[in-house]
Each structure stands twice: as C-alpha cells, then as structure tokens.
C-alpha cells in the first residue's frame, strides 16, 4: 500500500480473526461505526485546513495522522513529557490532551511552521549552536515550549527557565544545553 499524503487515502488495516486483513478506519481515528464524523477547520502554520474527524480525535492525531505534520511527536500520550507541544493561538499546549474539535477556528503552529532549513527560527538555531538535543525526540516540543517561554513571565536565572520548561522531559538529559540555548535567545 502506498501513501500519497492525502488523509482520504490513509487507511490502516486491522487484523481479522478469520486470518486476513481488512480495512479499518483512517489512520489516527478511533474504531466505532456509531460515531459520526464532524467537520473541523483551523489554520495550521498559515494554511487553512478543513478536516472531517471523529469527535474523539486529539489535536496530535489530527496533525500527525491527517495533516502529516510529523514533527510534533507522540511521547507519553498522557501530557507528561511535552513532546507533543504546539502553539494554539500563541500559547503552548500538549496536543495529546486536547481534542481537535475544541480548536475549530483556531490558529495552530507546529515545529514545521517556525522556520525552514535555510532560515531557522532563532530558537532552532540556538538548539543547533548549543547542542540542545541528543536523540532529538523531545526537541520539537522543547523548541516550541522555548519559543512560547519568550512571551511568558519568567525570571532571568537558569533555575527560572528550568521551572518554566518543567513540562518538557528529555530522556537523554540534555537539560544544561537546552537551558543554554533558551537563555541565548532570551539575551539576544
């Protein structure tokens, strides 16, 4: 099966107890024939998007599985790691904890909307310059939180930045470099 990056062609296959595979629901949607789909429209990274979603679809699932914006990561799926952090109306949220339908009409920014490989956002560049990543899995959520922190009240000390970033976990332990990257941007 090939995937041509259109949500209507993204079909997952479920195991059939009779021994074969059968079409299930579109990728990222929950399996329940009684649930009716609902239209949801929002602007993502400056582009108007209209989707027809199961009302139980999280914002994370809508971004990754329907819009194919895979920079936002699914970490713990319980709002504890911050890998799924995106901006909604300029504020950072854990997209795994928020239903997509709640954001009908909202403006959403993901890591893909911050910069480009040729013109990185200052926070992205600071993460590169200060080696603020190791495996990279948490990096998009860390960067999105770091960018949001620039608009939030936060003291000047490293300890203040650590507290403001406490919702983002790095399993590799790159915290010192992450704080250095954020402080670099704050002072620039």
Q: Do 130 and 149 share a domain, yes or no?
A: yes
The pLDDT, as a whole number, for residue 12 is 32
Residue 17 has a pLDDT of: 38
Residue % of the chain over a pLDDT of 70: 82
Whether residue 16 is contained in a domain is answered as no
Q: How far apart are alpha carbons 56 and 166 in whole angstroms? A: 28
Residue 57 within a domain: yes
Q: Are 167 and 91 in contact (CB under 8 A)?
A: no
My answer on whether 109 and 40 are in the same domain is yes
Residue 100 lies in domain: 36-113
Q: Are both 169 and 130 inside the same structural domain?
A: yes
Domain-ending residue, one of 56, 91, 113: 113
Q: Which long-range contacts (CB under 8 A, 24 or more apart) does 2-10 make?
A: 5/68, 7/51, 7/65, 7/66, 7/67, 10/65, 10/66
pLDDT the model gives residue 20: 41
Task: Answer yes or no: is pLDDT of 21 > 60.
Answer: no
Inside any domain, residue 48: yes
CA distance 85 to 110: 8
pLDDT at 173: 87
Residue 13 has pLDDT above 90, yes or no: no
pTM: 0.80
The residue-averaged pLDDT of 106-118 equals 95
pLDDT tens-digit series, residues 45-61: 999 999 999 999 999 99
Sequence-distant (6+) residues with CB within 8 A of 61 are 28, 29, 100
Nearest-CA neighbor of 110 among 77, 66, 71, 152? 71
Coil, helix or strand for 44?
Answer: strand
Whether 106 and 132 map to the same domain: the answer is no
Higher-confidence position of 59 and 174: 59
Q: Are 76 and 93 members of one domain?
A: yes
In a domain, 43, yes or no: yes
pLDDT of 15 strictly over 70: no
Could you tell me which residue, 27 or 172, shows the higher pLDDT? 172
Q: Is the pLDDT of residue 26 over 60?
A: no
Query: What integer pLDDT is reported at residue 50 of this predicted model?
Result: 97
- The domain that holds 138 is classified in CATH as 1.10.150.120
User: So what's the pLDDT on residue 24?
Assistant: 45
Specify if 138 maps to a domain.
yes
Q: Are both 182 and 126 inside the same structural domain?
A: yes
How many domains does one find in the chain?
Answer: 2
47 & 98 share domain: yes
The residue-averaged pLDDT of 115-123 equals 94
State the residue for tokens 């909307």: 113
């Amino acid at each position: 099966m090939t995937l041509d990056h259109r949500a209507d062609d993204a079909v997952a296959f479920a195991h059939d107890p009779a021994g074969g595979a059968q079409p299930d629901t579109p990728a990222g949607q929950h399996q329940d024939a009684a649930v009716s789909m609902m239209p949801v429209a929002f602007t993502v990274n400056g582009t108007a998007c209209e989707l027809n979603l199961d009302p139980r679809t999280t914002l994370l699932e809508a971004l990754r599985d329907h819009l194919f914006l895979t920079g936002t990561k699914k970490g713990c799926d319980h709002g504890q790691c911050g890998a799924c952090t995106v901006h909604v109306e300029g504020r950072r949220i854990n997209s795994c904890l928020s239903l997509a339908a709640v954001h009908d009409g909202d403006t959403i920014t993901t890591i893909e909307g911050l910069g480009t490989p040729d013109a990185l956002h200052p926070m992205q560049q600071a993460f590169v310059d200060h080696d603020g990543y190791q495996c990279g899995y948490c990096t998009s959520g860390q960067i999105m939180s770091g960018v949001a922190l620039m608009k939030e009240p936060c003291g000047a000390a490293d300890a203040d930045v650590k507290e403001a970033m406490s919702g983002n976990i790095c399993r590799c332990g790159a915290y010192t470099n992450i704080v250095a990257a954020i402080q670099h941007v704050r002072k620039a």
